[in-house]
Chains A and B, each alone.
Chain A
Amino acid sequence: MILVTDQPLRHEDAERAVSDPGHGAVVVFEGRTREWNGGRRVVRLEYELYPEMVERELERLEAEILETHAVGKVAFLVRSGAVPVGEASVIIAVGSGHRKAAFDACRMGIDELKRRAPIWKKEVFEDGEEWVGHSSGNPVDPV
């Protein structure tokens, strides 16, 4: 299940999407806006997405996870726009028969989402704003 929305993400939607009588393990990861970063106070994060491509990349990632891990269901919930402190910008849920596969698959989900999904994060501080990762000027590997 893939959901891209500008509305607040609901933990129970992710959980429900991967629930199944055969799933003895459900792992849910939430990435939330943290109040302090590098000694500066964060007011909110602003997320910009390329929605059609995010959906395509996440569908592909979901299929890869299901192929490489012994898990039954995977859910990606992604929020665009302003995300206040304490709220989630991403939720990844995995349902599986057993816990190890569920943890491993969830970890792959968030790591690969961060690497491939065309999503950009701007940190808005009390005293300024900054696109994360843009000042480094590091070349990107075209996938």
Chain B
Amino acid sequence: MKIRVLYFASLREKLGRAADDLEVPAGATPRAVLDQVLGEKLAQYRAAVAFSVNHEYTPGDRPLSDGDEVAFLPPVSGG
């Protein structure tokens, strides 16, 4: 299935891009996609990232659906 993945702030800068369109296996989770995107080089960012799917905060282990927009959210610091 196809999903869109968005990166923000420090994560966007580390990866050098703001978004990816990815083909992932059925039942893939946000956490699994994050691990794949980060690889070993950026693995230290794993613990600090929260997830949203279609603009809602989501646990990292909830299976994704085709067409989902997933975002990886570093610690927020607005205001």
Contacts and interface: CB of A to CB of B under 8 A. Distances in A.
Contacts of A90: 78-79
B71 interface: yes
Contacts of A116: 57, 76
Given A120-B9, A137-B44, A142-B51, A113 B78 contact: yes
A134 B10 contact: yes
A131 interface: yes
Given A48-B8, A53-B71, A142 B76 contact: no
A96 B46 CA distance: 43
Contact of B75 (A50, A117, A140): A140
B6 interface: yes
Interface in B24-79: 44, 47-52, 55-60, 71, 73-79
Given A48-B9, A52-B55, A131-B10, A140 B48 contact: yes
Interface residues on B, range: 20 to 34
Contacts of B48: 134, 136-140
Contacts of A100: none
A120 B8 contact: yes
A100 to B, nearest CB: 22
Interface residues on A, range: 20 to 34
Interface of A: 31, 47-50, 52-53, 56, 78, 89-90, 110, 113-122, 131-134, 136-143
Given A110-B79, A139-B47, 17 more contacts: A31-B79, A48-B8, A48-B9, A56-B56, A89-B78, A114-B76, A114-B77, A116-B57, A118-B73, A118-B76, A120-B77, A133-B74, A134-B48, A134-B74, A136-B48, A140-B48, A143-B50
Interface of B: 6, 8-10, 12, 44, 47-52, 55-60, 71, 73-79
6 contacts: A31-B79, A50-B73, A115-B76, A119-B79, A139-B48, A142-B57
